[in-house]
Amino acid sequence: MIDYTGLRDLLRERGHDVPDGDPPAPGRPDRALVSAGLVGEAEMAEALAAYLNIPFAGPERFPAAPLAAGGATLSFLRQSRVLPVAEDAGSLTLAMADPLDRDAVQAMGLLVGKEICLEVASPSDLDRAFDRLYGKSGDGVSVRGGEAAARTPAEDGPAVRLLEDLVRTAISNRASDLHLEPAAGGLRLRYRIDGRLMELGARPPAYLTDMLIGRIKVLAGLNIAEKRLPQDGRASMNVAGRKIDIRVSTAPTLNGESIVLRLLDPERGPTDIESLGLAGPVASALTDVLSAPHGMVLATGPTGSGKTTTLYAALRRLNLAERKIVTLEDPIEYRLDGVNQIQVNPRIGLGFANLLRSVLRHDPDIIMVGEIRDEETARLAVQAALTGHLVLSTLHTNDAPGAAARLMDMGIEPYLLSASLRAILAQRLVRRLCPDCRTMEPSEASVAERLGLEPGTEIGRAVGCARCHETGYRGRLVLSEIMPMDSRLETAIAERADAGRLRSVLDPDLSMLADARRRLIAGETTAEEVLSVLGGARI
């Protein structure tokens, strides 16, 4: 902080006529005096140096050639009016128009990893020095090895490097999403790892917030100037030698724009049915129904339960040269070679129902509908399944029996549903016990009774270590159940059975509860995880 009285007295000693009372305008006293024309900016720079007891840097102090300064971009140096004037193995000296700009000082310190020494310079002198050293085409230059070098927006710079570091950290920790949330104390960074949000590392300098958000928007092709409305886009980055696709979503909040990056790593994407980790009986039943030439196969579960991943794996199995596959997605998560993928866009009339009508005229063999949300889409999907197409889709219900009941509630006639439906798969994701610290212990009596285990059955327990960030878990696995169409299910649907009765015809060995028991006894997850996802289900 600058005390007006002390600065005024110092300026009077230097021959300036500065009035008593309050500063001539709100804000910093030094800036108010310059704005009011009472003191020139050059004289104020010298006075500020004396007031802060740090050296003053005149034009003669500026270097004859640009200094490396860690590769800082000219756009940052110009915007912050920071000029590197001397550098050695242990320190970097900066001439600044505002030596009280702690964010800029901190950013340079992080960039070079050296002690930062400060001097005060006139803003006009700094601007002329930038023009002399780097030329007048400000933004396209970075400092490298003592000379100005042309650069593209994707090269160097604090915001660029920060974004690369954040994405690299996310990928190395198997994060599915990166949340950037402006807060009163700076930018809050959280990573969704194994379905849970956690903070890793320190918050970046506050001054980088706008630069980082702008960088992300440029990569995703979003409107940088628009901060009032949500925006969605896609980007890609090369991290650790491989390409990472990123889905970007922005939203205006009280403290600024919040951004979520969905990280789509091809190496972690769906490969085939076997790699999904479905229970053996469930995987076998799913493989059988996918061999049918037509009919409807549904994947159900809440948001984030891996339904789309399962359908992608199914498409990879079905993707042969003699088959035409068309998908209707919102959004497109992964790009599949040989598959015709269409992005739904309701704002221009491209909803699931409208697109499904058009797709049927393109002679497809297999159709994937991202989600059945209404009766119209459900009826079209059923009709497509009845007319010789294999239809894959998702539905938001808690379990497999609930999906059949939901379709009847939507208005699908039971005879059409029983004729078109091949199977319903339901799934949940639970955290996998860390193999480095997990232990086995006898189950509690209440837990054993709830899950149908023998009293005292040994099951897994979470402990926590450095490898799993002290959570006790590392990675996730899928709990699943499948209800294939058979005579009992067909009869129950024909009689408009509710979800409870439909569950009674589900093969117990194909239920999610049976899968959960197998996982617990194998030490793959914990009872807490199982009950957290099955607590609302009928078990």
pLDDT band at 124 (very low <50, low <70, confident <90, very high): confident
Q: Cβ distance 193 to 173 under 8 Å?
A: yes
Provide the pLDDT confidence category of residue 138 given band limits of 50, 70 and 90: very low
Stronger pLDDT, 27 or 59, i.e. the higher one: 59
Burial of 465 (0-12, 13-18, 19+ CB in 10 A): middle
Question: Which region holds residue 303: left if phi is over 0, alpha if psi is between -120 and 50, else beta?
Answer: beta
pLDDT tens digits for range 163-184: 988 998 898 888 999 999 998 7
**The pLDDT value given to residue 427:** 95
- 482 forms beta bridges with 425
Q: List Cα–Cα distances, 432 to 474, 528, 530, 536, in angstroms.
A: 6, 12, 11, 21
Indicate the DSSP class of residue 87.
E
Residue 202 has pLDDT above 80, yes or no: no
Residue 126 per-residue DSSP state: H
Q: Is the peptide bond before 302 cis (omega within 30 degrees of 0)?
A: no
- Please tell me which residue, 206 or 211, carries the higher pLDDT value: 211
- Of residues 472 and 266, more confidently modeled: 472
Q: Are 502 and 477 in contact (CB under 8 A)?
A: no
pLDDT for 148 beyond 60: no
Q: What is the percentage of the chain residues whose pLDDT exceeds 70? A: 94
Q: Give the span between the Cα atoms of 18 and 520, in whole angstroms.
A: 79
Q: Pick the range with the lowest mean pLDDT from 201-205, 219-223, 288-292.
A: 201-205
Note the pLDDT of residue 196: 93
The one-letter code for the residue type at 516 is A
The pLDDT mean for the chain works out to 88
Q: Are 363 and 357 in contact (CB under 8 A)?
A: no
Q: Burial, 108: exposed, middle or buried (Cβ in 10 Å; 0-12, 13-18, 19+)?
A: buried
Q: Can you tell me the distance from the alpha carbon of 136 to that of 120, in angstroms, rounded to the nearest whole number? A: 23
Token pair recorded at residue 77:
């140096």
User: Which residue, 65, 72, 81, 149, is CA-closest to 110?
Assistant: 72
List Cβ neighbours of 513 (8 Å cut-off, separation of 6 or more).
Answer: 451, 452, 481, 534, 539
pLDDT at 386: 96
What pLDDT sits at residue 270?
Answer: 63
pLDDT at 149: 53
Q: What tokens were used for 410?
A: 């939507």
More confident residue, 11 or 294: 294
Distance CA 529, CA 333 (A): 27
Instruction: Report residue 128's pLDDT band, with 50, 70 and 90 as the boundaries.
Output: confident
CA-to-CA distance for 203 and 84, rounded, in angstroms?
A: 25
Interval 91-109 mean pLDDT: 88
pLDDT of residue 137: 47
Q: Sorting pLDDT into bands at 50, 70 and 90, what band is 141?
A: very low
Q: How many CB atoms lie within 10 A of CB 361?
A: 7
Residue found under tokens 């992608």? 312
Rounded mean pLDDT of 285-306? 94
Dmax of the chain from CA atoms? 102
From the list 322, 321, 313, 268, the residue with the least C-alpha distance to 286 is 313
For 337, phi then psi, to 5°, come to -65, 135
**Of 16, 67, 73, 9, nearest to 41 (Cα)?**
16
The residue-averaged pLDDT of 375-387 equals: 95
User: Whose CA is closest to 432, among 398, 394, 473, 404?
Assistant: 473
Higher pLDDT, 162 or 403: 403
Reference 106, options 138, 80, 88; nearest CA is 80
Q: What is the pLDDT of residues 340-354, one digit of tens each?
A: 999 998 888 889 999
* Predicted local confidence at residue 471, as pLDDT: 92
Confidence of residue 240 (pLDDT cuts 50, 70, 90): low
| pLDDT at residue 153 is higher than 60 | no
Return the residue matching tokens 């959280």: 190
Average pLDDT over residues 20-49: 83
- Find the Cα–Cα–Cα–Cα dihedral 20, 42, 136, 65, rounded to 10°: -140
Q: What is the pLDDT of residue 136?
A: 55
180 has which bridge partners? Answer: 189, 259
Amino acid letter at 70?
G
Long-range interactions of 176-180: CB distance < 8 A, separation 24+: 176/262, 176/263, 177/260, 177/261, 177/262, 177/263, 178/260, 178/261, 178/263, 179/258, 179/259, 179/260, 179/261, 180/212, 180/213, 180/216, 180/258, 180/259, 180/260, 180/261
Q: How many CB atoms lie within 10 A of CB 417?
A: 22
Instruction: Classify each residue of 263-296 as buried b or exposed e, where b means 16 or more C-beta atoms within 10 Å of its C-beta.
Output: bbbeeebbeebeebbbbebbbebbeebbeeebbb
Q: What is the dihedral of CA 337, 340, 341, 346, to 10 degrees?
A: 170
* Kind plus residue range of the DSSP H or E element containing 354: helix 352-359
Both tokens of residue 370?
A: 């991202």
pLDDT for the residue numbered 143: 53
Instruction: For the beta carbon of residue 365, count every other beta carbon within 10 angstroms.
Output: 16
